Amino acid sequence: MSRKSAWMVFALLVFPAWLVGIPGCTYLKTRTPGERITYEEEVGQQFSLEASTHFRWLDEPEVLDFVKDLGHRLSAHLVGTPYEYRFYVIRDPTMNAFAVPGGYIYFFAGLIAQVENVDGLAGVMAHEISHVEDNHFIRGQKKMDVANVAALAATILAAAMGGGQGAAAGVTLAQAAQKTASLHYSRQFEREADRDGLKLMREAGFDPEGMVSVFKRFYAIARVNAADLPPYFYTHPLPAERIYEVEGWAKAMPAVHRAKPKLETQFELARITARLRTERFDALAISQQGRVARNPGSAKEKFLLGYLYLKRGDLPLARRYLQEAFDMDSSMVEHAIYLARAYHLSGNLVRARELFDLAVEMEPRNPLTEVYYGDLTAQTGGWLEALHHYQRAAVLNPRSSIAHARLAKAYERIQERGKSYFELALSDKCAGRYSKAVYYLQKALKHLDHDGRDAKLAKAELAGMGVEE
């Protein structure tokens, strides 16, 4: 089995098995809503700890912060939800996404790279959130043979993680799909998630047609070449009649009256970054160069090309295209931020500071500006000033992995080792690296005042992950 196939099988089988196999049949013994929610949280905690050691996580802010922002924009419109939603991105080209009891939502970079607009991504997100809200994993557990599912998960996990030829022998994607028929959501559950997801999208100001467009794209891939079928199709079957039903619901909904969230630029950055981490750079750069050639008057296309070169480390080309984009449209705060970043990395600190000041003036509460401004001041030896910027970034976006990582570095430089470990733990937790977060929290407790505020926060973080001190 190829590595890619192994990962696809892993996505298809191991996750649903973990959902139902970790605690056994505990759900059948719970009686009150409070007991069920506690049980779901325990499942989510155990899963997140285990999964954190098996995946590569994508923590670049352009992707991770965008996905979290999108998810929380949607979940904010849930009425009376008992869940605290958490969103993560897996660095893998597979077109997949899944939800775990307790409100843990996972997106693969390959899905973000292939979805064509922000409404489409919001549609997948709303659908997954609805699976959690409607308790589909737990309700479905009653009908499953937990022991068999857990045994199958262990076998596939061994193959996916390189358990040797014996473990992988005879296991193919088609066989895996056949064996996991019992893990698919029932038609009733899919119908509920479709309907409730569409309602949630509309409440949050997104176009419900976005969900329809994504489902149609997956279905088109399946019809052309079943071998390229996205794993999402296996775990969320999309027969034609279901798509027509969703399309009918979407068209019957009243028009969206709220102003659509202005996420288009952030979506474009997330999408091209996801492609950068799952595709060959040369092919991606050639594709973007072609878009610039076909649209020479587009500041957006030049900005994205300059951004690609910036990520690649080609600073002369990054400055060229980012400057051209900025000259064409200086009203976009992203144009100022990344041009400033390019000048900073090129050594022109004066011009970089001017552009960061402009970015702060344009959007005073942008956490990424604070992170990069902190980097600029740190380079000139002003670690206390850098610390101020990083702290502000973490206040503006407490879920930002990069903000906590930079805080950890700043605390290390000013000899605050306990706080440094604590911020490293928060950074890893925000990115999905739960096992590393536990490690750094335990190290932080060795350096913090046992009765102090920071130690209490560290203990609370461990408890929140279901880990004893």
Q: Say which residue, 349 or 176, is predicted with more confidence.
A: 349
Under a CB-based contact definition with an 8 Å cutoff, are residues 352 and 340 in contact? yes
pLDDT at 235: 64
Helix ranges, 295-431 (H): 299-312, 315-328, 333-346, 349-362, 367-379, 383-396, 401-413, 417-431
Nearest alpha-carbon partner for 337 in 366, 297, 380, 304: 366
What the block records as the tokens of 446 is: 């060795």
The pLDDT confidence band at residue 141, using thresholds 50, 70 and 90, is: low
Cβ within 8 Å of residue 88, ≥6 positions away: 57, 64, 67, 104, 105, 106, 107, 431, 432
Q: Is residue 95 over pLDDT 70?
A: yes
pLDDT at 42: 78
pLDDT at 49: 82
Q: Which tens digits make up the pLDDT trace of 286-306?
A: 999 999 999 999 999 999 999
Domain 266-464 homologous superfamily, CATH = Tetratricopeptide repeat domain (1.25.40.10)
Q: Which tens digits make up the pLDDT trace of 343-374?
A: 999 999 999 999 999 999 999 999 999 999 99
Under a CB-based contact definition with an 8 Å cutoff, are residues 100 and 43 in contact? yes
pLDDT at 395: 98
Share of the chain above pLDDT 90, in %: 58
Q: What's the mean pLDDT in 181-200?
A: 77
The pLDDT confidence band at residue 445, using thresholds 50, 70 and 90, is: very high
Sign of torsion over alpha carbons 396, 400, 403, 407: positive
**Of the ranges 39-43, 202-206, 380-384, 423-427, which one carries the lowest mean pLDDT score?**
39-43
Q: Where in the chain is the domain with CATH 1.25.40.10?
A: 266-464
Helix 367-379 to helix 349-362 angle (10° resolution) is: 160
- Phi then psi for residue 351, to 5 deg, are -65, -35
Helix 367-379 to helix 333-346 angle (10° resolution) is: 20
Q: Is residue 10 over pLDDT 60?
A: no
Q: How far, CA to CA in Å, does 452 sit from each of 395, 418, 459? A: 21, 11, 11
Helix 434-447 to helix 417-431 angle (10° resolution) is: 170
User: What's the rounded Cα separation, in Å, for the pair 172 and 176?
Assistant: 6
Residue type, 439: Y
pLDDT at 159: 32
**43-47, 62-66, 95-99, 379-383: which is most confident:** 62-66
Across all residues in the chain, what is the average pLDDT? Answer: 82
User: What's the rounded Cα separation, in Å, for the pair 368 and 321?
Assistant: 21
Q: Is residue 121 over pLDDT 80?
A: yes
The pLDDT confidence band at residue 40, using thresholds 50, 70 and 90, is: confident
Residue type, 177: A
The pLDDT confidence band at residue 160, using thresholds 50, 70 and 90, is: very low
List, as one string, the DSSP characters of 16-40: HHHHHHSSTTGGGG--SHHHHHHHH
pLDDT at 228: 60
Q: How far, CA to CA in Å, does 235 sit from each of 9, 13, 120? A: 11, 9, 18
Q: How far, CA to CA in Å, does 90 sit from each of 7, 59, 356? A: 11, 9, 31
pLDDT at 181: 37
Q: What's the mean pLDDT in 245-268?
A: 81
- Phi then psi for residue 116, to 5 deg, are -95, -15
User: What's the rounded Cα separation, in Å, for the pair 418 and 415?
Assistant: 9
Q: Which tens digits make up the pLDDT trace of 315-331?
A: 999 999 999 999 999 99
Q: Is residue 266 over pLDDT 80?
A: yes
Under a CB-based contact definition with an 8 Å cutoff, are residues 159 and 8 in contact? no
Cβ within 8 Å of residue 395, ≥6 positions away: none
pLDDT at 403: 98
Cβ within 8 Å of residue 5, ≥6 positions away: 172, 173
* Per-residue exposure over 340-358, b if at least 16 CB sit within 10 Å of its own CB, e if not: bbbbbbeeeeebbbebbeb
User: What's the rounded Cα separation, in Å, for the pair 173 and 171?
Assistant: 7
Q: Say which residue, 439 or 244, is predicted with more confidence.
A: 439
Q: Say which residue, 122 or 31, is predicted with more confidence.
A: 122
Beta strands at 86-90 and 104-108: parallel, antiparallel or unpaired: parallel
The pLDDT confidence band at residue 51, using thresholds 50, 70 and 90, is: confident
Long-range contacts of 272-275 (CB under 8 A, 24+ apart): 272/304, 272/307, 272/308, 273/60, 273/62, 273/63, 273/311, 274/58, 274/63, 274/89, 274/109, 274/110, 274/112, 274/113, 275/113
Nearest alpha-carbon partner for 58 in 433, 463, 450: 433
